[in-house]
């Protein structure tokens, strides 16, 4: 990648998602859970108290379920809140066409998921598809997302990342809760998302890592789109820190610090259908908050890469779950 290979060149050569799929298939559920718990702990210490966790590195039913079971076990064993996403349509598995993969998801994956959801074995909140040229086209994406919506899953998918696909228009039409990426979104797609109150989950780490053009955050905000921020944590963008994401959003996407804070809190909660309980400090909502070692909250964004010495306490449901001893000896200025 650093030598100049594009995301799709790496993907087509069997790298990227396919490389991770190979290793995920070999891993045990316990190994996946241990890695997940460790990463969630790092996110928690960086100030995140609610996180979306996706499957999508199995592409076959057994491995997708293995990932979702690991997420389910993490949900019960960690302090951080989890919204679980089924992303079986993250790539077309080797040996299948996109149409065959779509049929497999609709006829096999989703019915099994529905069964496990009804029995209470697995709680899945969202459905995701990588709608992209050379991956899942608009029609395949529509079929999968509609099937997921029909079984009660919120639509929250990858759209308009590398090529303009009219994903935003599709998401608005289907009543999607959120669409991620949107580096190549059309003007019409932005207007459609604003009208449909579909959140745009912008991921400044992705454009940074892949040297893509930045999402049009300013245009979206001006058109009234609900803009959220995400870390896009995955092997391509290994970032645990939402303070760093907010910093990148301010510098590279020209958002104000107030806009970035709202995008990383209340709007991010909205993108997961959780803004009635999370994302702001209000009576009746869950008591999740940070106490930082600074006289001004802006330092959380201003001091990029500085959250390890800034975040003094992380509080979830009114209980201190992380106390940072380093803050006792370090001043924020």
At 63-86, the pLDDT tens digits run: 999 999 999 999 999 999 999 999
Residue 325 confidence (pLDDT) above 90: no
Tell me the mean pLDDT in the region 202-211. Answer: 95
CATH class of 7-272: alpha beta
pTM higher than 0.85, yes or no?
Answer: yes
**Cα 182 to Cα 159: distance, rounded to the nearest angstrom:** 6
Residue 124 confidence (pLDDT) above 80: yes
Q: Are β-strands 50-54 and 81-89 bridged in parallel, bridged antiparallel, or unpaired?
A: parallel
229 pairs with which residues across the strands? 202
**Cα 249 to Cα 260: distance, rounded to the nearest angstrom:** 7
For position 328, what pLDDT does the model report?
66
What does the DSSP 8-state code read for residue 326?
G
At 82-107, the pLDDT tens digits run: 999 999 999 999 999 999 999 999 99
Residues sharing a CB contact under 8 Å with residue 60, sequence separation 6 or more, in sequence order? 25, 93
At 167-189, the pLDDT tens digits run: 999 999 999 999 999 999 999 99
Q: 125 and 113 in contact (C-beta within 8 Å)?
A: no
**Cα 240 to Cα 313: distance, rounded to the nearest angstrom:** 17
Taking the domains of the chain in order of start, what are their residue ranges?
7-272, 289-323
**Cα 56 to Cα 84: distance, rounded to the nearest angstrom:** 11
**Cα 316 to Cα 28: distance, rounded to the nearest angstrom:** 30
Residue 326 confidence (pLDDT) above 90: no
Residue with tokens 């400044």: 204
For position 330, what pLDDT does the model report?
59
């Amino acid at each position: 990648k650093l030598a100049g290979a594009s995301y799709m060149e790496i993907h087509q050569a069997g790298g990227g998602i396919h490389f991770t799929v190979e290793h995920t298939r070999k891993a045990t559920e316990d190994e996946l859970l241990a890695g997940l718990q460790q990463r969630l702990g790092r996110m928690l210490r960086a100030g995140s108290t609610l996180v979306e966790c996706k499957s999508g590195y199995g592409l076959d039913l057994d491995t997708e379920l293995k990932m979702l079971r690991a997420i389910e076990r993490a949900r019960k064993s960690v302090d951080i809140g989890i919204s679980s996403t089924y992303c079986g349509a993250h790539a077309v598995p080797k040996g299948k066409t996109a149409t065959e993969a779509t049929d497999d998801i609709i006829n096999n994956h989703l019915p099994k998921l529905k069964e496990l959801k009804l029995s209470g074995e697995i709680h899945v909140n969202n459905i995701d598809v990588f709608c992209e040229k050379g991956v899942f086209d608009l029609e395949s994406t529509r079929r999968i997302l509609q099937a997921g919506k029909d079984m009660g899953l919120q639509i929250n998918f990858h759209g308009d990342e590398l090529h303009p696909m009219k994903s935003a228009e599709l998401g608005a039409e289907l009543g999607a809760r959120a669409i991620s990426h949107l580096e190549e979104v059309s003007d019409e797609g932005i207007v459609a998302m604003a009208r449909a109150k579909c959140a745009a989950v912008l991921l400044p780490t992705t454009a940074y890592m892949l040297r893509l053009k930045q999402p049009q955050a300013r245009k979206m905000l001006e058109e009234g789109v609900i803009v959220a921020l995400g870390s896009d944590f995955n092997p391509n963008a290994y970032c645990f820190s939402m303070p760093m994401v907010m910093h990148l959003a301010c510098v590279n996407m020209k958002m104000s610090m107030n806009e970035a804070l709202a995008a990383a809190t209340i709007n991010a909660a909205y993108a997961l259908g959780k803004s009635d309980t999370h994302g702001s400090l209000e009576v009746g909502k869950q008591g999740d908050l940070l106490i930082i070692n600074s006289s001004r909250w802006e330092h959380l964004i201003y001091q990029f890469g500085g959250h390890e010495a800034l975040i003094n306490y992380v509080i979830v449901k009114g209980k201190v779950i992380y106390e940072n001893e380093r803050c006792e000896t370090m001043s924020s200025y």
